[in-house]
Amino acid sequence: MTNAGGHLPVIPPADVDGIARVIGGVGGIRFQWEELDRGAQIVRNAAEELRRIWLNLTWIEMRFLAARTMGNVLAAGVPSAAGMAAAEGIRAGLQRVSEGSSTLEETADKIARSRMAYEFAEFATTDHLSLAVANLLPSAPYVSRPLLVERTRTDSIPLEGTMDGLLSRVSPAKGEPGSSFEVLEVAGESGPTYVVVIPGTEGADPALPFSAGGIVEAKFEDSEYINDAVASALVEVGAENDADVMLVGYSQGGMHAVNLANSGKVSENYSVNLVLTAGSPITEEKAPEGTTFLHLAHKDDRVPTWNFAPPADRPNQVSVVLDHNTGRPEWEDSGFGPPHNIDSYRHGAQAVDESSHPSIAPITAALGAAVTGATARRHVFQITRPPLINPQLLPAAPAHQHRQVKEGSAPGAGDRARDK
């Protein structure tokens, strides 16, 4: 946990090819600092105990010296040399106890100072930058509204309880008509779990909630109506209150997933245990207590960096930076190409499944316990955004507003004041 100096955390290296580094989790710096803080408190408590011992020894020494001065020791037949030796022993013990207490206090202070320096650096590079970027971004004029939700398919599918297994559902969800998401009912060790799979961006049609406009809704409106739609779908498939839920999102879908975990009907009515995102710009979002975030981002994929905030280091939030070969030609600029493809992220998810990194292993183990079967009951829901105004509901124009223009007259001629 500490370096050679004894007071700084050590970051465990990645242990699988395809993973460049792992940020956050129990192997992250913040968690280690919290553990060191607890250790520092134990050290301070030990120092207090030594002070109590020092006071007791001081009291014994004073009683011994008082008795010797009054001649009680000589009256009891104790040799003077032995009395002097006892006094020296007490003094030596006092010295050692005092030095031990000072050393423990010094160690605790070093840990506290190092932690403060880390907190300041993190604020300057992460929290402060995220806040500055948020203030610079405009509040986009995007009007969202309630969505129409329709279940279009229910069937059984094979499903593995792995990160790759979860991401394997992104392409089928995207392949459904319109903007669709999946709700998977799976068996777990402690009961059923519901996995919600949200795909990425689909074109620019404003009627499609997962079109480019959905990015704006996710960024500036916390996915309010996507949240309502998913909560409605969970009710329809029979998910009870406080049922275990996992959210899986790719690209734009990851933005919606973290929003659903942080606020709204989904997080209020269900227990969101895990949020898995791939290629999503969500590094500034904080995982709520009781929920674990696992973010996958390839080093050549620009989409996860669109919010300009570096990955956060938190005990329940893990960011995995992938560096596997995506097949992108060296001359091709990085961006929406192969590094951002879902197949590329499935390849990275396979590396995550194989990893025993201390920040990753607990998450993959929890997923395996939540998805114990080999199949899942799949429900596909299609969502659409109704038009702002239904043309069929518009009243017909009154007859007197239709004025015929006399032959030979020009449009706009006549009583302009009346026309105005």
| Domain final position from 353, 368, 384 | 384
- How big is the chain, counted in residues? 420
Residue 312 has pLDDT above 60, yes or no: yes
Judgement on whether residues 324 and 186 belong to the same structural domain of the protein: yes
Is residue 166 within 8 A of residue 216, CB to CB? The reply is: no
Cβ atoms < 10 Å from Cβ of 301: 27
**Could you tell me if residue 169 is inside a domain?**
yes
Find, among 56, 65, 54, the residue nearest to 97 by Cα.
Answer: 54
pTM above 0.85? no
Residue 46's domain comprises 28-136
pLDDT at residue 65, rounded to an integer? 64
| DSSP bridge pairs for 151 | 381
Same domain, 62 and 188: no
Mean predicted confidence (pLDDT) in 286-309: 89
pLDDT in tens, 257-273: 999 999 999 999 999 99
Instruction: Look at residue 414 in the predicted model and tell me its pLDDT.
Output: 38
3-state class (DSSP) for residue 191: strand
CB under 8 Å, gap of 24 or more: what pairs does 213-218 form?
A: 213/142, 214/179, 214/252, 214/256, 215/252, 215/255, 216/140, 216/142, 217/142, 217/144, 218/252, 218/255, 218/256, 218/259
Q: Mean of the per-residue pLDDT values for the chain?
A: 77
Domain match, 255 and 177 both: yes
In a domain, 154, yes or no: yes
**7 CA to centre of own chain:** 27
Higher-confidence position of 219 and 92:
219
**266 within 8 A of 245, measured Cβ to Cβ:** yes
Distance, in Å, from the CA atom of 248 to the CA atom of 290, rounded to the nearest integer, reads: 17
Neighbour-count burial for 272-293, b at 16+ CB within 10 Å, e otherwise: bbbbbbbbbbbbbbebeeebbb
Angle at 169 between CA 175 and CA 15, to 5 degrees: 135
Asked whether residue 89 falls in the same domain as residue 189, the answer is no
Does residue 323 fall inside a structural domain? yes
Residue after which a domain boundary falls, among 115, 136, 157: 136
- Mean pLDDT, rounded, for 203-221: 89
Query: Which of 255, 277, 286 lies closest to 348, judged by CA?
Result: 277
pLDDT in tens, 57-66: 666 666 666 6
Q: Are residues 273 and 364 in the same domain?
A: yes
* Residue at 226: amino acid letter: I
Q: Give the side-chain half-sphere CA count within 13 A for 325.
A: 3
Residue 12 lies in a domain: no
Of 105, 136, 167, at which residue does a domain stop? Answer: 136
Sign of torsion over alpha carbons 228, 229, 230, 232: positive
Query: Quick one: 41 and 79 in the same domain?
Result: yes
Q: Which two tokens stand for residue 282?
A: 């969500």
Q: Is residue 378 very low, low, confident or very high in pLDDT (cuts 50, 70, 90)? A: very high
Q: Is 322 helix (H, G, I), strand (E, B) or coil?
A: strand
Of residues 190 and 40, more confidence is placed in 190
Longest CA–CA span in the chain (Å) reads: 143
With respect to residue 124, please indicate whether it lies within any of the assigned structural domains: yes
What's the Cα-to-Cα distance from 239 to each of 153, 196, 233, 242, 263, rounded to whole Å? 17, 12, 9, 8, 18
Highest mean pLDDT among 49-58, 157-166, 382-391: 157-166
Element holding 153 (H helix, E strand): strand 148-158
Rounded to a whole number of angstroms, the CA Rg of the chain reads 33
Same domain? For 130 and 208 the reply is no
Q: Which residue has the tokens 């006892």?
A: 86
Side chain identity at residue 314, one-letter code: R
Nearest CA to 310 out of 129, 139, 161, 132 is that of 129
pLDDT confidence of 417, banded at 50, 70, 90?
very low
Strand partners, 379: 154, 183
| Percent of residues, the chain, with pLDDT higher than 70 | 58
* 190 and 333 in a common domain: yes
pLDDT for the residue 406: 40
Indicate whether 337 pLDDT > 60. Answer: yes
Residue indicated by tokens 């020494």:
61
Region 118-135: what's the mean pLDDT? Answer: 51
Picking from 207, 167, 134, 228, the residue whose alpha carbon sits closest to that of residue 351 is: 167
Write the pLDDT tens digit of every residue in 127-176. 544 454 445 444 444 557 899 999 999 999 999 999 999 999 999 999 99
Cα distance between residue 258 and residue 198, in whole Å: 11
Q: What pLDDT shows up at residue 105?
A: 64
Report how far residue 144's alpha carbon sits from residue 219's, in angstroms, rounded to the nearest whole number: 12
pLDDT tens digits, residue range 213-247? 899 899 888 999 999 999 999 999 999 999 999 99
- Residue type present at position 27: G
Residues 122 and 216 in one domain: no
Q: Tokens in use for 22? A: 């792992």
Q: Does 398 map to a domain? A: no
What domain count does the chain have?
Answer: 2
**272 inside domain:** yes
Does residue 204 contact residue 215 with C-beta atoms inside 8 Å? no
Q: Are residues 259 and 329 in the same domain?
A: yes
Q: What residues contact 274, with CB distance under 8 A and at least 6 apart?
A: 246, 247, 291, 292, 294, 363, 366, 367, 370
H and E: helices and strands count for the chain: 13, 9
3-state secondary structure of 333: coil
Residues 155, 128 within the same domain: no
Tell me what pLDDT residue 191 has: 87
Residue 18 within any structural domain of the chain: no
Contact 118, 29 (CB under 8 A): yes
Continuous segment of H or E residues that includes residue 42: helix 29-69
- 216 and 120 co-located in one domain: no
Higher pLDDT pick, 261 / 82: 261
